[in-house]
Chains A and B, each alone.
Chain A
Amino acid sequence: MFKDSKGFLEFVYEFYKTMKAHEISLVYEGEITHQITKAFTSLAESNMAKEEESGSVQRKVFHVMVECLQNISKHADEATDNDFLYSGRGIFMVSKNQSEYTVTTGNAIDNSKIPEMREMLERINAMSKEELNELYKKQIKEGRLSEKGGAGLGFIDIKRKTGRPLEYHFLPINDNISFFLLTSSIPRE
């Protein structure tokens, strides 16, 4: 028993060192609810205010965090064959170094949705700022809110706010589901 708990505590220390090495300031695994979204964004806000981050950087980080968290709470798929991967669950991580903030999310999605998502992400990545603005306008005019209240605008907005391509990856979990990772960085001025 003692040996086990020592092993566990050593793991915690290793984990802490890994977080420090990767400059991770927040990591969360679990259900992403509206309460969690509010808690994390207000935590990030007070940290950034303490660091005297510029208003523009603070606003951009806030935007990206909200859209990423709401992507998971509204879109993460139910995966019945694996109990730790269910609807609205995922990993959420914020890291920071001297030049940028990075917001990373991961959640399970149905393989059937991958081609459509990949196409949308690639399309957004290939667009200039002006094209994105046009697409955004078109989407709010013509797009409909999904059942869960998504407007299909999150990815467009993240790219507009950060001015950087959306980096993403799909890791196969099994024949039916994959783990979708998305990372966005916000330059510190």
Chain B
Amino acid sequence: MEAIKIKGTEDTPTVIFDAAENYFEISGRSLPEDVTSFYGPLLSWLSEYAKQPNPKTVFNFKLEYFNTASSKLILDVLMKLEEISRAGHEVLVKWHYPEDDEDMQEAGNEYADIVEVPFELVAYS
């Protein structure tokens, strides 16, 4: 599968979906003008990937900020990962948050509650 590599901007996140390198990341800021057109291709890619995933997928979220419209799409990404995990493949979500950002930590806890997928919260300074 061809990797997705998108460089982040002030309103869109950095995205790396690379099956060959087995590296997955969404980081930075997410408040795109049109959330559906930004996340749509990412979700399609994950649906393709779900058909033949790597034996272990570690998915890194390292967001500084996301708006409420993005929060829904981030959940859609997590639900794709849940699908992969349910199909019997190993998945681990790593939710990185700045150690002084309680809201971002709380957001990770909430997602961990909603989706059934192994979830690890990682504080960074």
Contact = CB atoms under 8 A, between A and B. Distances in A.
B65 A59 contact: yes
B61 to A, nearest CB: 15
Interface in B76-125: 98, 100-103, 110, 113-114
A67 B72 contact: no
Contacts of B33: 34
Most buried by B among A63, A151, A154: A151
A30 interface: no
Contact of A153 (B68, B101, B113): B68
A62 B65 CA distance: 9
A56 to B, nearest CB: 7
Interface string A140-171: 11010100011101101100010000000000
Nearest to A141: B114
In the complex, which range does the number of interface residues on chain A fall in?
20 to 34
Given A66-B67, A70-B67, A145-B36, A55 B101 contact: yes
B75 interface: yes
Interface of A (DSSP majority class)? helix
A39 to B, nearest CB: 10
A174 interface: no
A86 interface: no
A59 B103 CA distance: 9
Nearest to A42: B10
A153 B85 CA distance: 28
Contacts of B113: 137
A59 B66 CA distance: 11
A150 B72 CA distance: 10
B71 interface: yes
Interface of B: 10-11, 31, 33-36, 65, 67-69, 71-72, 75, 98, 100-103, 110, 113-114
21 contacts: A34-B11, A38-B10, A56-B100, A59-B65, A62-B65, A63-B65, A66-B31, A66-B67, A67-B68, A70-B69, A140-B72, A140-B75, A140-B114, A143-B72, A145-B35, A145-B36, A151-B69, A151-B72, A153-B71, A154-B68, A157-B68
Given A37-B31, A59-B103, A156-B68, 6 more contacts: A62-B65, A67-B68, A70-B69, A137-B114, A145-B72, A154-B68
A-B residue pairs, 7 tightest by C-beta:
A153-B68, A34-B33, A151-B72, A157-B68, A151-B69, A140-B75, A66-B67
